[in-house]
C-alpha cells in the first residue's frame, strides 16, 4: 500500500494523493517541486481555458434552430415577439445560454436604436412646429 501525502490542503483537510516515491509529499505539495507544480497548474488552467473556448466556438457555429422563421425586427412589437420566441427556445433547450445572451444583447441594442430614432423624429417635429410658429408670428 502506498503512503499518502503528509501535506494539508488549503481547506485544512489532509491531502489524500499518493506520495511520490522517496518523498513524503505528492507532486503538488512537494516543497522541492513548488515551481514545477506552479507551472503545471498554469499549463493545466490554460489547457482547460482553451478547451472551453474550442467547445464554445463549436457550439456557436451550430445554427440556431429558432431561426427557421424569418424574423423582421423593425419595431417594439417585432422585438417582443422575437424575445418571447427566444426565451421559449432557451427553456426548451433549442438554443444555448450563450446564444440566448447574445440574442438579448442584440435586441437591447435594437431597442435603443429604435428609441433613439423615435426621439429624433419627435425632436424634428417639435423643431418644425417651433419654426412654423415663429414664421407665423413674424408676418
Shared domain check, 50 and 67: no
Using an 8 Å Cβ cutoff, are 86 and 95 in contact?
Answer: yes
| Number of domains observed in the structure of the chain | 2
Shared domain check, 126 and 111: yes
Span of 21-30, 81-90, 126-135 with lowest mean pLDDT: 126-135
N-term to C-term CA, the chain: 107
- B/e letters for 18-44, b = 16+ CB within 10 Å, e = fewer, are ebbeebebbebbbeebeeebeeeeeee
Shared domain check, 41 and 74: no
pLDDT of residue 62: 58
Shared domain check, 78 and 46: no
Span of 1-5, 23-27, 57-61, 123-127 with lowest mean pLDDT: 57-61
pLDDT of residue 56: 66
Shared domain check, 24 and 77: no
pLDDT-based confidence at 67, cuts 50/70/90? low
Shared domain check, 55 and 32: yes
- Among 44, 61, 78, which residue terminates a domain? 61
Shared domain check, 54 and 7: yes
Shared domain check, 67 and 118: yes
- Among 39, 61, 83, which residue terminates a domain? 61
Give me the domain span that covers residue 52: 1-61
Shared domain check, 75 and 56: no
pLDDT of residue 64: 62
Residue 92: pLDDT above 60?
yes
Amino acid at each position: 500500500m502506498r503512503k499518502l501525502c503528509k501535506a494539508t490542503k488549503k481547506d485544512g483537510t489532509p491531502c489524500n494523493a499518493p506520495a511520490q516515491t522517496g518523498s513524503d509529499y505528492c507532486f503538488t505539495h512537494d516543497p522541492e517541486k513548488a515551481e514545477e507544480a506552479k507551472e503545471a497548474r498554469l499549463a493545466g488552467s490554460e489547457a482547460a481555458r482553451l478547451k472551453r473556448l474550442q467547445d464554445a466556438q463549436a457550439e456557436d457555429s451550430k445554427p440556431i434552430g429558432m431561426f427557421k422563421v424569418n424574423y423582421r425586427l423593425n419595431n417594439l412589437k417585432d422585438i417582443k415577439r422575437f424575445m418571447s420566441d427566444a426565451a421559449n427556445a432557451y427553456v426548451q433547450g433549442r438554443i444555448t445560454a450563450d446564444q440566448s445572451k447574445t440574442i438579448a444583447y442584440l435586441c437591447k441594442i435594437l431597442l435603443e436604436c429604435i428609441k433613439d430614432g423615435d426621439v429624433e423624429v419627435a425632436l424634428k417635429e417639435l423643431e418644425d412646429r417651433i419654426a412654423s410658429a415663429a414664421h407665423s408670428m413674424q408676418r
